[in-house]
Structure 1
Amino acid sequence: MYKSKGIQAYRKDSLKSDLASADPHRIIQLLMQGALEKLALGKGCIERSDWEGKSASLTRAVEIINALRDALDRDVNPELVDNLESLYEYMTVRITEASASKDISIIDQVIGLILQIKGAWDQISPADKQTAYEERNEALVGAI
């Protein structure tokens, strides 16, 4: 048990370090990765009949997906944001269903959806990220 707590403390410190130096794009990547990890953990808990762990992991996955939804910027692309909001809502409903029914195939479906979104997000080039940051900063300055 000591070893596990040490690993958890290291991972938590590593995550805090990543977040402290992360740009907004990286933060979204970390959130997606966190959701995937919690879903995988929840799936494992179902397979082991660890109902307390299942509940904690899947609840945290829903919280992370809600944070992703809250991070959407409607000003950039309203149609895309509407689609992602609907998809994130669908995921949270499905995770709740998976938790109640203990159906790991539903968790696999949600993992697949997040992997598709994350794959597209990961393909954003550094130049496109820089352009987006500059446009966002100009819009913020113009609003002042």
Structure 2
Amino acid sequence: MFGAKGYGANVYAQMGLETGVVAASPNQLVIMLYDGAISASKSAMVHMKNKEIERKCEMISKAILIIESGLRSSLDKKAGGAIAESLDALYLYMTKRLTLANIRNQSEMIEEVVKLLSELKVAWESIDTQSRALPNVTQILGMNPQVNAQRVAVGM
């Protein structure tokens, strides 16, 4: 009667995500991207443990998409200078580690990426708290996550 199982819940969840993206500050968008990459990576580890190869691959691909199309492509190396360059190198490293983890089926590499993403997320949460006193901190650090976060959210 209602179509595909779970469709309504999925649409509702997607609407909530898109609303959150539209209403979020640039700092909050970065945090949301970290949350998404962390969640996808942790999910990949569960699927890896359960030998659910297809789902593992999907979740690793999702984490890579968020890192590459959300976080990494948001960097403005001209405005962000050395910080943006360092983040770019770190995001590239994470992508390579996730790819190797997928190929070698090694959850330790995913755990490493989760740890790095979590540390960066904590830093951005601190920046978000402090940014109330210093607006536009994402621009100072050379990031423009708004367009990329919306693009990634719609692609999820």
**Count of residue pairs brought into register by the alignment:** 134
Match of 2:151 in 1: none
Q: Aligned-residue CA RMSD in angstroms? A: 2.1
Q: In the TM superposition, what is the alpha-carbon distance from 1:74 to its structure 2 partner?
A: 1.9
Match of 2:150 in 1: none
Distance 1:23 1:99 in 2: 33
5+ long unaligned stretches in structure 2: 141-156
Match of 1:15 in 2: 17
Distance 1:85 1:13 in 2: 30
Deviations 1:26-47 (A, max 9, x none): 1111111100111011111101
Higher relative contact order (CA 8 A, sep 6+): 2
Match of 2:81 in 1: 78
Match of 1:109 in 2: 112
Match of 1:95 in 2: 98
Deviations 1:6-25 (A, max 9, x none): 54333222111101112211
TM-score by length of 1: 0.84
Taking only the aligned residue pairs, the percentage that are identical comes to 26
Is the CA contact (8 Å cut-off) linking 2:79 and 2:139 kept in structure 1?
Answer: no
Distance 1:14 1:131 in 2: 25
SS in 1 for 2:94: helix
Distance 2:138 2:55 in 1: 39
TM-score by length of 2: 0.78
State which structure, 1 or 2, has the greater radius of gyration over its C-alpha atoms: 1
Match of 1:33 in 2: 35
2:84 aligned partner, one-letter code = V
2:118 aligned partner, one-letter code = L
5+ long unaligned stretches in structure 1: 136-144
1:73 aligned partner, one-letter code = D
SS in 2 for 1:78: helix
